[in-house]
Structure 1
Amino acid sequence: MASAPDVGPVFFPLDEELGLLPGHLALRQQEHLTHLACFMPFEKAAQMLETLLGVRTTKETARSLTERMSACMEVAYAADNEAPSFPPLTDQPAPQRYVLSADGP
């Protein structure tokens, strides 16, 4: 009887398309856990996630997700600071009249 071929790492293209992060938690659960871990110790954040959402995780998962999110935030912050904050000036003269409108009750 022939044995099954050795299967290497499995890749799920839909995970990448949906922006799913590795791990057992859904994206929203990961967001909640990292927010909690910003305000309390990792172990307490994992316990709070279970209390609030019924989702079990570990202190180590809370730590690694929070550190990964922190690294992503640093990259985004650095990229944002490198971009010009105002559009470049043009040679066109400023308009003579501006029109403002308010919507609402």
Structure 2
Amino acid sequence: MTDPAYEFCPKAHRWQLLRKFTQHLCRHPFFPSPSSNFENFRDIQRACVYDMYVFCREHGLTEAWAYLWNSWYSKWDLWAQSSCESRLSHVRTTMITENHWKSLKHGYL
């Protein structure tokens, strides 16, 4: 029997998880870490996995962590920008540029 009040991830933590995940996605050896150091891709991976794990543990999000690990963090090389040390994906930079021009066009022109 399922509990109708059950929440996989409480609403209060959803935005925080998404924000952390997005920050982890965008980290790359070309850019300095929050502590102003340049790290290799394995150091970035280790720091991001640990950051998300600690956040989930501190907020009692064990099932969210299990999902994040099994679906995303254990498959780091498939989705993280830092998985390729020598190149930065043009897809992400193109999206940023397009969003900037869209903001200019609709907000100021």
TM-score above 0.5: no
Which of the pair is proportionally richer in helix?
Answer: 2
Structure with the bigger RCO (C-alpha within 8 Å, sep 6+) is: 2
State TM-score, norm by structure 2: 0.34
Larger Rg: 1
